[in-house]
Amino acid sequence: MENSKELRTWLDDMALPHPLVIAGPCSAETEEQVLRIAHELKDTDVNYYRAGIWKPRTRPGNFEGVGAIGLKWLKKVKEETGLKTATEVANRTHVDLALEHDVDLLWIGARSTVSPFIIQEIADALEGTDKIVLVKNPVNPDLSLWLGAVERLHKAGIKKLGVIHRGFSTYEKTKYRNIPEWQLAIELQTRFPDLPLINDPSHITGKRDMIFDVSQTALDLNFDGLMIETHHDPDNAWSDAAQQVTPQKLVQIMKDLRIRKETDEETEYKNSLSNCRAQIDILDNQLIETLGKRMKVADQIGELKKQRNVAVLQTNRWNAILGKMILEGESKGLSEEFVLKMFKAIHQESINHQEKIVNAAKAEVVQK
Ligand code: PEP
Ligand code: MN
């Protein structure tokens, strides 16, 4: 697949004055719920009304979606509110039923994108239609798998394509439900600048309070739109309760977001600048996180040294690290002076951490 303007014609043709907005509940629960939320979103910036009909749940036994009956409710949404509709499809039957009920936009979920078999089945079922299809990133941070899914759809003749960045699962405890790994989305954007890129802050954060900040970062990184889970009674939603916002809150978020329009040279300069700044912010956060992790390991070393009564400062080891890092730094365009200064500071902090542990042990001995 090559980058081409054609990839984004469907979005450009909408000529939106703001990012594309896809909003609605995680799951369709009842006809009343689906219609109520749709009516509350009717006169807002929302472009597509989303509702999951078939829900991919990580563990069995949770609410797995209302099934095909929900498609009738989505049809009613369109008739009563004029909102276009969107749902997730994960196999041929879902596609056939969604087409039958005239759903306007289909998305492929993160758990499906990991499986080329499923993607091929969906692509075959969609051949010859002109639906908009958005591919969520796979649950694991693998750009080829993500792009591979887009390519399969493109090969099946689907022209109205786009991708949704919903974050990646990780074994580590983080403040996110799915870590954003922004650099992957940035790389995808660099390779396919014309492929519409939508952010899903709901599944990235897992918490409604964090949705605004992640949305703002996405817009600063030139994302084309947002998918935000919206429910009239989020706390009592049948799935993903913690991350859904009310329609009123969604309107407020849209109002507060700094939305950039690329118009003149001055704006273009400002856009590029805020794009770079957003990237710097992400990298700085990663630096702090990595340094925090490094000091945790230093603490473990402190424990080991304490048990063996070994001196904290090990000059040989330290010189070896420095020599290696100066060379690594050079290959990345960093001056020796800078690498030295930085590692001296890191080393000092490491020693402080270890000394704290060793001294705590001495204090224990004295007390005894
Ligand atoms: C969803 O959008 O409700 C959903 C299940 O998303 P994901 O595939 O990103 O987990
Ligand atoms: Mn959800």
Show the domains of the chain with their CATH numbers.
Answer: 4-256 (3.20.20.70), 267-367 (1.20.59.10)
pLDDT value, residue 138: 98
For the CA of 64, the nearest ligand: 1
What is the CB neighbour count within 10 angstroms for residue 112?
A: 24
Binding site membership of 167 for ligand 1 (Cβ less than 6 Å): no
Q: In terms of pLDDT, which residue wins out, 232 or 128?
A: 232
What pLDDT, on a 0 to 100 scale, did the predictor assign at position 368?
A: 56
Kindly state the average pLDDT of the residues 226-241.
97
Range with the poorest average pLDDT among 5-9, 328-332, 359-363: 359-363
CA of 336 to the centre of ligand 1 (A): 47
Burial of 108 (0-12, 13-18, 19+ CB in 10 A): buried
Ligand nearest to the CA of 243: 2
Model confidence at 262: pLDDT above 80: no
Q: What backbone torsions phi and psi does residue 165 show, to the nearest 5 degrees? A: -95, 110
Residue 154 CA to chain centroid, in angstroms?
23
C-alpha dihedral, 11 to 13 to 16 to 20, nearest 10°: -20
Query: Which neighbouring-strand residues pair with 87?
Result: 106
Which ligand 1 atom is at minimum distance from the Cα of 200?
9
- pLDDT tens digits, one per residue of 130-188: 999 999 999 999 999 999 999 999 999 999 999 999 999 998 889 999 999 998 999 99
Instruction: Using the atom order of ligand 1, give the atom closest to the CA of residue 166.
Output: 9
Ligand 1 center from residue 9 Cα (angstroms):
25
User: Ligand 1, atom 9: nearest CA belongs to which residue?
Assistant: 110
Query: Is ligand 1 within 6 A of the CB of residue 65?
Result: no
Q: Record the pTM.
A: 0.81
DSSP class of residue 17 equals S
pLDDT tens for each residue of 25-71? 999 999 999 999 999 999 999 999 999 999 988 788 888 999 999 99
Residue 109: CB within 6 Å of ligand 1?
yes
Cβ contact 133:104 at 8 Å: no
| Ligand 1 neighbour 82 (Cβ under 6 A) | no
Which residue, 283, 265, 159, 143, is CA-closest to 221?
283
pLDDT in tens, 338-361: 999 899 899 889 888 888 888 886
CA of 57 to the centre of ligand 2 (A): 10
What's the per-residue H, E or C state across 230-246?
ECCCHHHCCCCHHHCEC
pLDDT tier for residue 367 given thresholds of 50, 70 and 90: low
* CB 228 less than 6 A from any atom of ligand 1: no
pLDDT one-digit tens code per residue, 298-315: 889 888 888 888 777 778
* Ligand 1 centroid to residue 260 C-alpha, Å: 27
Task: Please name which of 68, 74, 89 lies closest in space to residue 38, comparing C-alpha atoms.
Answer: 74
Question: If you ran DSSP here, which 8-state letter would residue 163 be given?
Answer: E
Q: Report the C-alpha gap between 160 and 157 in whole angstroms.
A: 9
CA-to-CA distance for 158 and 152, rounded, in angstroms? 9
Whether 84 is in the pocket of ligand 1, judged by its Cβ within 6 Å, is no
273: nearest Cα among 203, 220, 235: 220
What is the per-residue pLDDT across 265-276, written as a single tens digit (0 to 9) for each?
777 787 778 778
Is a pLDDT exceeding 70 seen at residue 112? yes
Ligand 1 centroid, distance to 112 Cα (angstroms): 10
Cβ(166) – ligand 1 distance below 6 Å: yes
pLDDT digits (tens, 9 = 90+) for 200-225: 999 999 999 999 999 999 998 999 99
Which residue CA neighbors atom 10 of ligand 1 most closely?
110
Residue nearest to atom 2 of ligand 1 (CA): 26
User: What is the C-alpha separation between 8 and 21, in angstroms, rounded?
Assistant: 15
Q: Which of 54, 119, 135, 166 to mutate to test the pocket of ligand 1 (most atoms within 8 A of CB)?
A: 166
**CB of 138 closer than 6 angstroms to any ligand 1 atom:** no
Q: What is the mean pLDDT of residues 3-22?
A: 94
